[in-house]
Amino acid sequence: MATLGLDNIFKIFNGAEPSASELAQLRNDVMFMALARATSADTNIQSIEVERVIEVLKTHTGNDYSAADIRVAAQSAIFEKVSLQRYLSASAKKIAWQDRVATVNALIDVIQSDGRTSYMEINYFNDVVTALQLTPAQLVGLDAES
Protein backbone atom coordinates (compact mmCIF):
# COMPACT_ATOMS: atom_id res chain seq x y z
CA MET A 1 0.00 0.00 0.00
CA ALA A 2 1.28 3.46 -0.88
CA THR A 3 0.67 6.42 1.37
CA LEU A 4 0.57 10.14 0.91
CA GLY A 5 3.84 11.92 1.51
CA LEU A 6 2.88 14.38 4.22
CA ASP A 7 6.42 15.73 4.18
CA ASN A 8 5.86 16.69 0.54
CA ILE A 9 2.69 18.53 1.44
CA PHE A 10 4.44 20.52 4.15
CA LYS A 11 7.36 21.30 1.84
CA ILE A 12 5.00 22.67 -0.78
CA PHE A 13 3.20 24.95 1.64
CA ASN A 14 6.50 26.14 3.08
CA GLY A 15 7.81 27.04 -0.38
CA ALA A 16 10.68 24.54 -0.51
CA GLU A 17 11.67 22.95 -3.81
CA PRO A 18 11.12 19.18 -3.83
CA SER A 19 13.86 16.81 -5.01
CA ALA A 20 13.28 14.66 -8.11
CA SER A 21 12.00 11.73 -6.03
CA GLU A 22 9.80 14.02 -3.95
CA LEU A 23 8.45 15.53 -7.16
CA ALA A 24 7.58 12.06 -8.47
CA GLN A 25 5.83 11.31 -5.18
CA LEU A 26 4.01 14.64 -5.39
CA ARG A 27 2.66 13.77 -8.86
CA ASN A 28 1.39 10.47 -7.46
CA ASP A 29 -0.12 12.15 -4.40
CA VAL A 30 -1.94 14.74 -6.52
CA MET A 31 -3.47 12.03 -8.70
CA PHE A 32 -4.36 9.92 -5.66
CA MET A 33 -6.14 12.76 -3.88
CA ALA A 34 -7.96 14.03 -6.97
CA LEU A 35 -9.19 10.56 -7.95
CA ALA A 36 -10.06 9.38 -4.44
CA ARG A 37 -12.12 12.51 -3.83
CA ALA A 38 -13.89 12.05 -7.15
CA THR A 39 -15.52 8.91 -5.77
CA SER A 40 -17.41 11.01 -3.24
CA ALA A 41 -18.01 14.07 -5.42
CA ASP A 42 -21.68 13.14 -5.78
CA THR A 43 -21.90 12.02 -2.11
CA ASN A 44 -22.49 8.43 -3.22
CA ILE A 45 -19.31 6.36 -3.29
CA GLN A 46 -19.82 3.62 -5.87
CA SER A 47 -17.75 0.43 -5.67
CA ILE A 48 -17.18 0.56 -9.42
CA GLU A 49 -15.62 4.02 -9.07
CA VAL A 50 -13.37 2.88 -6.22
CA GLU A 51 -12.25 -0.14 -8.24
CA ARG A 52 -11.57 2.08 -11.24
CA VAL A 53 -9.49 4.48 -9.11
CA ILE A 54 -7.38 1.54 -7.89
CA GLU A 55 -6.81 0.39 -11.50
CA VAL A 56 -6.03 3.86 -12.82
CA LEU A 57 -3.62 4.61 -9.98
CA LYS A 58 -1.81 1.32 -10.53
CA THR A 59 -1.47 2.13 -14.23
CA HIS A 60 -0.29 5.73 -13.74
CA THR A 61 1.73 5.48 -10.54
CA GLY A 62 2.65 1.81 -10.24
CA ASN A 63 1.41 1.90 -6.64
CA ASP A 64 -1.06 -0.50 -5.06
CA TYR A 65 -3.92 1.04 -3.11
CA SER A 66 -6.75 -0.70 -1.29
CA ALA A 67 -10.43 0.17 -1.42
CA ALA A 68 -10.05 1.30 2.20
CA ASP A 69 -7.26 3.74 1.20
CA ILE A 70 -9.53 5.26 -1.43
CA ARG A 71 -12.59 5.45 0.81
CA VAL A 72 -10.66 7.06 3.69
CA ALA A 73 -9.17 9.69 1.36
CA ALA A 74 -12.58 10.28 -0.23
CA GLN A 75 -14.06 11.12 3.16
CA SER A 76 -11.07 13.01 4.55
CA ALA A 77 -12.44 16.41 3.50
CA ILE A 78 -14.27 16.71 6.81
CA PHE A 79 -11.00 16.26 8.72
CA GLU A 80 -8.56 18.30 6.67
CA LYS A 81 -7.14 21.66 7.63
CA VAL A 82 -6.16 22.58 4.07
CA SER A 83 -8.71 22.20 1.29
CA LEU A 84 -8.05 19.90 -1.63
CA GLN A 85 -8.24 22.88 -3.99
CA ARG A 86 -5.56 24.72 -2.04
CA TYR A 87 -3.35 21.61 -1.99
CA LEU A 88 -3.81 21.05 -5.73
CA SER A 89 -3.17 24.71 -6.49
CA ALA A 90 0.08 24.73 -4.51
CA SER A 91 1.12 21.43 -6.08
CA ALA A 92 0.33 22.69 -9.59
CA LYS A 93 3.15 25.19 -9.28
CA LYS A 94 5.63 22.35 -8.81
CA ILE A 95 4.59 19.75 -11.39
CA ALA A 96 4.61 19.89 -15.19
CA TRP A 97 1.42 20.72 -17.05
CA GLN A 98 1.57 17.33 -18.79
CA ASP A 99 1.41 15.61 -15.39
CA ARG A 100 -1.53 17.78 -14.38
CA VAL A 101 -3.31 16.89 -17.65
CA ALA A 102 -2.66 13.20 -16.95
CA THR A 103 -4.42 13.65 -13.60
CA VAL A 104 -7.39 15.32 -15.29
CA ASN A 105 -7.61 12.58 -17.93
CA ALA A 106 -7.53 9.95 -15.19
CA LEU A 107 -10.25 11.91 -13.40
CA ILE A 108 -12.45 11.80 -16.50
CA ASP A 109 -11.97 8.03 -16.64
CA VAL A 110 -13.07 7.64 -13.01
CA ILE A 111 -16.04 10.00 -13.27
CA GLN A 112 -17.36 8.15 -16.31
CA SER A 113 -16.74 4.66 -14.88
CA ASP A 114 -20.23 4.21 -13.46
CA GLY A 115 -21.93 5.20 -16.71
CA ARG A 116 -23.44 8.45 -15.45
CA THR A 117 -22.16 11.91 -14.62
CA SER A 118 -23.85 14.14 -12.05
CA TYR A 119 -23.74 17.92 -11.78
CA MET A 120 -21.76 17.54 -8.56
CA GLU A 121 -19.13 15.49 -10.41
CA ILE A 122 -18.97 18.12 -13.15
CA ASN A 123 -18.51 20.83 -10.52
CA TYR A 124 -15.79 18.77 -8.85
CA PHE A 125 -14.07 18.26 -12.21
CA ASN A 126 -14.16 22.00 -12.92
CA ASP A 127 -12.78 22.75 -9.44
CA VAL A 128 -9.89 20.32 -9.97
CA VAL A 129 -9.05 21.74 -13.41
CA THR A 130 -9.09 25.27 -11.98
CA ALA A 131 -6.97 24.29 -8.97
CA LEU A 132 -4.45 22.56 -11.25
CA GLN A 133 -4.21 25.83 -13.21
CA LEU A 134 -4.67 24.24 -16.62
CA THR A 135 -5.56 26.20 -19.72
CA PRO A 136 -8.05 24.91 -22.31
CA ALA A 137 -5.14 24.45 -24.74
CA GLN A 138 -3.23 22.33 -22.24
CA LEU A 139 -6.31 20.22 -21.56
CA VAL A 140 -6.32 19.14 -25.19
CA GLY A 141 -2.54 18.65 -25.27
CA LEU A 142 -1.47 21.93 -26.86
CA ASP A 143 1.34 24.04 -25.51
CA ALA A 144 3.73 26.31 -27.37
CA GLU A 145 7.38 25.32 -27.32
CA SER A 146 9.30 27.56 -24.96
Average pLDDT over residues 23-40: 92
- The confidence score (pLDDT) of residue 1 equals 41
> Quick check: is 75 in a domain?
yes
Q: What is the mean pLDDT of the chain?
A: 85
Has residue 146 been placed in a domain? no
Percent of the chain with pLDDT over 90: 55
Q: Specify whether the CB–CB gap between 47 and 26 falls below 8 A.
A: no
Q: How many domains does the chain have?
A: 1
Q: What is the CATH number of the domain that holds 122?
A: 1.10.3680.10
- Residue 51 forms part of a structural domain: yes
Range list of H helices, 62-135: 67-75, 84-92, 97-112, 119-131
| pTM, rounded to two decimals | 0.85
The model's pLDDT over 100-124, given as tens digits with 9 standing for 90+, comes to 999 999 999 999 998 889 999 999 9
Q: Of all residues in the chain, what percent carry a pLDDT higher than 70?
A: 83
CA dihedral 67, 73, 75, 81 (to 10 degrees): 170
Give the rounded distance of the alpha carbon of 145 from its chain centre: 26
Phi/psi-derived region of residue 80, left when phi > 0, alpha when psi is between -120 and 50, beta in every other case:
beta
- In this structure, is residue 36 part of a structural domain? yes
145 lies in a domain?
no
Query: In the 8-state DSSP scheme, what is residue 76?
Result: G
- Residue 144 lies inside a defined structural domain of this protein: no
Residue 132 domain boundaries = 6-139
